[in-house]
Amino acid sequence: MHHHARPSFCSLRGCGSASLPGWSSLENPEPRTRARGIQLLSQVLLQCHSLLLEKEVVHLILFYENRLKDHHLVIPSVLQGLRALSLCVALPPGLAVSVLKAIFQEVHVQSLLQVDRHTVFSIITNFMQSREEELKDLGADFTFGFIQVMDGEKDPRNLLVAFHIVHDLISRDYSLGPFVEELFEVTSCYFPIDFTPPPNDPYGIQRDDLILSLRAVLASTPRFAEFLLPLLIEKVDSEILSAKLDSLQTLNACCAVYGQKELKDFLPSLWASIRREVFQTASERVEAEGLAALHSLTACLSRSVLRADAEDLLNSFLSNILQDCRHHLCEPDMKLVWPSAKLLQTAAGASARACDHITSNVLPLLLEQFHKHSQSNQRRTILEMILGFLKLQQKWSYEDKDERPLSGFKDQLCSLVFMAITDPSTQLQLVGIRTLTVLGAQPDLLSSGDLELAIGHLYRLSFLEEDSQSCRMAALEASGALASFYPGAFSSYLLPKLAKELQRGELDVTREHGPNKCSRHLLCLQALSAVSTHPSIVKETLPLLLQHLWQANKGNVVIGFNDIIAICQSLQQVAEKCHRDPDSCWYFHETALPCLFALAVQASMPEDSSVLRKVLLEDEVLAALASVISTATIHLSSELAAQSVTRIVPLFLDGNISFLPENSFPSRFQPFQDGCSRQRRLVVLLMAFVCSLPRNVEIPQLTQLMRELLELSCCPGCPFSSTAAAKCFAGLLNKHPAGQQLDEFLQLAVDTVEAGLGAGSSRSQAFTLLLWVTKALVLRYHPLSSCLTARLMGLLSDPELGPAAADGFSLLMSDCTDVLTRACHADVRIMFRQRFFTDNVPDLVQGFHAAPQDVKPNYLKGLSHVLNRLPKPVLLPELPTLLSLLLEALSCTDSVVQLSTLSCLQPLLLEAPQIMSLHIDTLVTKFLNLSSSPSMAVRIAALQCMNALTHLPTPVLLPYKPQVIRALAKPLDDKKRLVRKEAVSARGEWFLLGSPGS
Amino acid sequence: MVGGGGSGGLLENANPLIYERSGERPVTPGEEDEQVPDSIDAREIFDLIRSINDPEHPLTLEELNVVEQVRVQVSDPESTVAVAFTPTIPHCSMATLIGLSIKVKLLRSLPQRFKMDVHITPGTHASEHAVNKQLADKERVAAALENTHLLEVVNQCLSARS
C-alpha cells in the first residue's frame, strides 16, 4: 500500500481528485464497489494524514460526512477514513464537532462489527486528545451522543477503550448535564465484571484489566454515589465471592473522592454489610477487604470539614460500630471477640479522631473486663486486645501532653501489665511484656517509678528457668527496646544488678560450677548484651564483659570452655548493636580488639601452660573470637579502619606488640616465622580482621603478608592454621583490584597449589588452598576462575582427593559465614551461581559419562551440590537436559547424593509438573524405594516428593493411586515419628486425588 | 434494597466458644536420632485429628474443643486407639459427620495393625448411642464412603485449609 501513497496523494493535490486511482468507483452505483473505492482512499489517508493541508482536510471531511448517509456496506470504510482524518493536525476548528455530530446522528454503532465499533471509539478518543475545548463546547450533547454509541457494547476490547473514554469525560470535566444517571447506567451494567478470557486469547485482555478500568470509572466521581452505593451494598450481600471482593474494593476506591454528603444515607447499610462479612465469612480475603473498606470509610468521614451546625457523621458511625462490637469484647472465649476487636481497631486506625473516640470508649471497658475475668487465657485475650489499641496510638502524634488519650489510663495500664508479667501463665506473661514495650515507646508516659518497677520485673524475667525460654527471650528483647528510650533508667536500675551478678560468679572460684550457677552466668551475659542498645549503655557493658574475660584469664575465676564461648557471643551481640552508631562502633573496636588480641597472644606463648589459656586456643573459641573481631571491623569507616590496620598487621608480621595492654610477654610473637604451632593458630584472628576491612583500606606490607599466608597455607600438621591462612589469602585476593599485583599473587598461588598437589605430604592443604582461591575468583567473575574450576573438576577422578573435591562444589556454591561475604565487603556478584552453573554443568555431565564407574558418584555429588544451590527459576529451563541424570542419581547409593537430588526434584515437581509427568513411572518407583532407605533424612525427603507428586495432573496419577496408597501404608508404621508425619500427609493427599470434594 | 440477612443465619451456633490451637509439636533430639524408635502416642494421634475442619465453621475441631488430647487413648504395643469427641451442642446434627471424618482420617493415617474406636464423649449428645453404633459399624462406614456427597464433605473436612 505504502508505495501507492505518495503519488496518489500528489495527484489529489495537483490534478484534482479525478485522477486518483479508483476515484470512479467512489461514485459507482454498486455499494460494494463504492465501499472498495472508499476503503482504498481511507487506507491512503491513514498512511499520509500528517501531510494533508487544511484545505484538503475540509474537502475530505465534507466528502466523508456525506458518505455516512450512504449504504450500510460502505460505512466501515467511511469510518476508517474519518479515523485517519481525526489524526490530522491540520483539521480546522469546528470540524471535529461536525464529524462527531454526523456519526451520532447517522450511524447506529451497535449494529456494526466489533472492529468498526472500535474505529468509532478511536475517532472519539483522538478528538478528545486533540480537540478537548471544541468538544466541550458541544456541552452535554457530546456525553449523550457517546452514551448512545456505547450502549449495549459487549466486546472486552471495545469496553476497555469505552471505559477509558468515560473516565476522561469525568476526570477532564466534560459537561454531563442531565445525563449523569444514564452515564452511570451505561457503565455500571457491567459491574461486577464476569469475564474469563478465552484460551489462547491473542488480545491478552485479563479479567483484572476490565475490573480495574471499570472501577476507575465508577469510583471517579461523587456524582455517581447515590446510584453506586446501593449497587455495591447489593453485591456485597450476594453469595458470589468475586462480587463481594470487587464491591468492597470499589467501595474502598470510592472513599478517596467521597465526602460525608455522599455517604450519609448509606452508612447504616454499609456498616451492616461489612460487619456481616467480617463476622461470618469463611474467606480471609473477604475479611481483609471488608476491613480495608471500613478503614477507608472511617478515614473519609474523618477527613470532611464540617459546618459548625452540621451533625458529625463520624461520631454516629463510630457509635454504631461500638454498639455492635462492644459486648463481644466482654466474651473473650467466644468466636466473635476477635472479629469485633479487628473491626474496632481498623476503624481506630483510620484517623486520630477515630482512634480517640474508640480508645476512650473501649479502653475502660477492657480494663474492667480484665479484672472481671480471672482465668489466665481470658485475661490474655483481653490484654492482647488492649495491646492492639495501644499500638494504634503510635500512629498519631499528640503535640500536647494532656491531649494524649492514654495519660488518664496510665496507672491502670501499668498495674495490669505488672499483674500479667507476674501471672503463672507464660502466654499472659508474653503479652504483658509486649504491652510493656508498647507503653514504654509512648513518649513521656511512664514515670521514673514505673520504670524502676518495670526494670525490676525485666531483671527477674531475664533469669527465668529453661522452661520459660520464650518469656526470657521476650524480656530480653523488651529490655533492649526500652533501654534505647531510657538509657539512664537502665543504667541506674539494671546495670548495677547485672554487674553484681557477674561478680558473684567471679567470687565463686572455690565452688565447682553446678548447672545452676553456670546457667545464671550465661543468662547474665545475655542480659548484658541484650540491653546494650544505647551508646551510653555500651560504654558500661563492654568494659564489664572485657574485665570479666580478663579476670578469667588471670585465674581469678574458674571458667570453662562454654563460659568463654558465651562471653564471646555476648561481645558479638554488643558489637552488632553498635552498628548503627559510628561512634559506638569505633569505641567497641578500639576498646575490645587490643584486649582480645592481648589475651590471645598471651595464651599463645610457649611458656604458658594454664588450663584457661589452653581453652582460649581451641578451634571453637578462636572462631568465636574471630567472629567478634570481624563484627567489630565490618562497619568501621575507611579512615578509622586504616588507623587500626597499621597496628594489627605489624603485630603479626613483625611481632610489634606495642598497642596491646599488659604486654610484657615472656617470648616474642612471631606466628609466621618460628615453628610454634600455638602462635600460628592466631592467624584466624588476623583473617577475621583483614578480611572484614572496607575494600579501599590499604594494607601495609601486603606482598609480604600474602607470601607468608601462602607458605602457612601449605604447612602440614595443623589443618586449622593452614585453612585459616588459605581463607585469609582468598579473602584478600577477592578484594584486591585487578592489575599486575593481583596477577602476581595469582601466579604465586597457582605455583604453590601445583607444587603442593605434586608433593605427597601436603596434597590436602594444597587442595584446600585451590578450593578457597577458586571460590574467591568465582565470586568476582575473574577470568582465571574457569581454569581453576577445571583443575578442581579434574580432581574428581583423583583416588585420594575425589570425594573432597565433590564436597568442594558445595563450598563453592554456598554462602560463607566468616570471609568472602558481602557483609565483609567482598566482591560477590549476584549471579555467580547461575554463571557457575552455565559454565560448568555441561563439563560435569560430560565428565560423569566419561568417568570410570568407581568415581561416577563424585561427579553426581558435585553436580547435586551445584543444582541444589541454584535458584529454581534458573534450573527449570535446564531441566529437560538434566532430568535423566537426576533420575540416575536417585539410584546412586550415596545418601548425600540421594538427599540432594530429592531436594532438587521436590520443587521441580511443584513448578514443572508437565515435564515431570513424562517420568511418572520412574519417579513413583524410585521415591517409593527411597522411602524405606536406612537414612531417616532420605526417607523424609522421599515422602515429601511423594507428596509433591500429587501436584502433577490428576489423570497422570490416577493409574498409580491404588499402588501408591498400598505402598505408603508401610511408612505409616516407620519407627521414626518425623517420617510417619510425612507419610501421613503424602498418603492423605493421594487419597484426595480424583475424589469428590478435593 | 439493602440485604440484611446473610448466609450466617443458617448456622446452628453462630458464636461458638473457641479454644486455642496447640502449637506444632516441638521436635526433640530423640526424634532426630536415627536409632531411637518413637512410639505412637496420644499427642501424635491428636495431631492427626486436631486440624480436621469443622463442616460448618471455618474452624478446626481443636478450636471448637470437639477433640482434646486427654480424650485420646492409645497403646502402640497393643495396636489400639480410642478417640472420644464432644459435639459443640447436644443436638448437633453434624455429630455423625464429624465422627466419620475422624474415623476416615485415622483409617488413612494409621498403620493397618491398629484397631480404632471413635465415639462421642459420654453424656454430651442427645443421640449418642445411635451415632456410636453407626461409627462402629464397619459396613455402614464403608457404605457411607460410597456416597459421593458424603465423601465430598468428609474430604473437605480433611483437606488442608486454603
Q: What CA–CA distance (Å, rounded) separates A176 from A146?
A: 11
Backbone angles phi, psi at B83, to 5 degrees: -125, 125
Is the pLDDT at A986 greater than 80? The verdict is: yes
Residues of chain A in Cβ contact (below 8 Å) with chain B = 230, 233-234, 236-239, 269, 272-273, 276-277, 279-282, 328, 331, 333-336, 377, 935-936, 969, 972-973, 975-978, 980-981, 984, 987-988, 991-992, 995-998
Select the highest-mean-pLDDT range: A841-855, A858-872, A926-940.
A926-940
- For A384-403, how does the pLDDT look when each residue is reduced to its tens digit (9 = 90+)? 999 999 999 888 776 665 66
- For A532-551, how does the pLDDT look when each residue is reduced to its tens digit (9 = 90+)? 999 999 999 999 999 988 88
Can you give the pLDDT at residue A518?
54
Instruction: Give contacts of B37 with chain A, Cβ < 8 Å.
Output: 975-976
**Across the interface, do B2 and A272 touch by the CB < 8 Å criterion?**
yes
Is the pLDDT at A333 greater than 90? The verdict is: no
**Across the interface, do B111 and A969 touch by the CB < 8 Å criterion?**
yes
Backbone angles phi, psi at A634, to 5 degrees: -50, -40
**Across the interface, do A996 and B158 touch by the CB < 8 Å criterion?**
no
Locus of grid cell 481525526? A86
Q: How many C-beta atoms lie closer than 10 Å to residue A412's C-beta? A: 15
Instruction: Give contacts of B23 with chain A, Cβ < 8 Å.
Output: none
- For B48-77, how does the pLDDT look when each residue is reduced to its tens digit (9 = 90+)? 999 999 887 778 899 888 999 999 999 999
C-alpha to C-alpha distances, A362 to A322, A332, A663, A858, B102, nearest whole angstrom = 8, 14, 66, 67, 41
**Across the interface, do A987 and B44 touch by the CB < 8 Å criterion?**
no
Contacts of A87 (CB under 8 A, 6+ apart): A49, A50, A126
For residue B120, what are the β-bridge partners?
B85
**Across the interface, do A996 and B151 touch by the CB < 8 Å criterion?**
yes
Q: Which of B16, B40, B47 sits opposite A335 (nearest CB)?
A: B16
Instruction: Give contacts of B146 with chain A, Cβ < 8 Å.
Output: none
Name the nearest CA neighbour of A238 among B8, B7, B14: B7
Q: Are the beta carbons of A801 and A763 closer than 8 angstroms?
A: yes
Averaged over A154-158, what is the pLDDT?
92
All three cell numbers of A157:
476490547
Locus of grid cell 487465657? A377
Q: What CA–CA distance (Å, rounded) separates A984 from A53?
A: 80
Is the pLDDT at B161 greater than 70? The verdict is: no
A14 pLDDT band, cuts 50/70/90, is very low
Averaged over A398-409, what is the pLDDT?
71
By 3-state DSSP, what share of chain B in percent is helix, strand and coil, each rounded to 5? 40, 10, 50
Is the pLDDT at A617 greater than 70? The verdict is: yes
A507 pLDDT band, cuts 50/70/90, is low
Averaged over A894-914, what is the pLDDT?
84
Q: Which of B8, B18, B34 sits opposite A334 (nearest CB)?
A: B18
Can you give the pLDDT at residue A233?
96
Q: How far is CA A935 from the centre of its chain?
A: 34
**Across the interface, do A334 and B109 touch by the CB < 8 Å criterion?**
no
Can you give the pLDDT at residue A856?
86
3-state secondary structure (DSSP) of residue B73: strand
- The percent of residues above 70 in pLDDT, for chain A, comes to 94
User: Which chain A residue lies closest to B49 (C-alpha atoms)?
Assistant: A984
Q: How far is CA A698 from the centre of its chain?
A: 36
C-alpha to C-alpha distances, A938 to A129, A660, A825, A928, A978, nearest whole angstrom = 66, 52, 37, 11, 12
Can you give the pLDDT at residue B4?
32
**Across the interface, do A991 and B16 touch by the CB < 8 Å criterion?**
no
Q: Three-state SS string across B81-148, please? A: EEEEECCCCCCCCCHHHHHHHHHHHHHHHCCCCCEEEEEECCCCCCCHHHHHHHHHCHHHHHHHHHCH
Contacts of A551 (CB under 8 A, 6+ apart): A506, A557
- For A284-300, how does the pLDDT look when each residue is reduced to its tens digit (9 = 90+)? 889 999 999 999 999 99
Q: What CA–CA distance (Å, rounded) separates A674 from A642?
A: 28
Instruction: Give contacts of B20 with chain A, Cβ < 8 Å.
Output: 377
In sign, the C-alpha dihedral spanning A129, A134, A136, A140 is negative
Can you give the pLDDT at residue A236?
94
Instruction: Give contacts of A279 with chain B, Cβ < 8 Å.
Output: 8
DSSP character string of A13-46: HHS-GGGSTTGGGGG-SSHHHHHHHHHHHHHHHH
Q: Which of A234, A280, A984 sits opposite B3 (nearest CB)?
A: A234
A8 pLDDT band, cuts 50/70/90, is very low
Between residues A779 and A9, which one has the greater pLDDT?
A: A779
- For A442-452, how does the pLDDT look when each residue is reduced to its tens digit (9 = 90+)? 888 899 999 99
- For A55-74, how does the pLDDT look when each residue is reduced to its tens digit (9 = 90+)? 999 999 999 999 999 888 99
- For A194-239, how does the pLDDT look when each residue is reduced to its tens digit (9 = 90+)? 888 877 777 778 899 999 999 999 999 999 999 999 999 999 999 8
**Across the interface, do A269 and B2 touch by the CB < 8 Å criterion?**
yes
DSSP, res B28: P
Q: What CA–CA distance (Å, rounded) separates A685 from A320?
A: 67
Quote the mean pLDDT of chain A: 89
Can you give the pLDDT at residue A245?
94
Averaged over A794-816, what is the pLDDT?
92
Q: Which of B38, B105, B156 sits opposite A977 (nearest CB)?
A: B38
- Determine if the pTM surpasses 0.90: no
Output the CA angle A850-A853-A859, nearest 5 degrees.
65
C-alpha to C-alpha distances, A192 to A83, A637, A916, nearest whole angstrom = 32, 58, 39
A23 pLDDT band, cuts 50/70/90, is low
Based on its alpha-carbon atoms, the radius of gyration of chain A, rounded to whole angstroms, reads 39
A3 pLDDT band, cuts 50/70/90, is very low
**CB-side neighbour CA atoms (13 Å) of B126:** 6
Specify the range with the lowest mean pLDDT, choosing from A393-397, A914-918, B76-80, B116-120. A393-397
Q: How many C-beta atoms lie closer than 10 Å to residue A642's C-beta? A: 17
A308 pLDDT band, cuts 50/70/90, is low
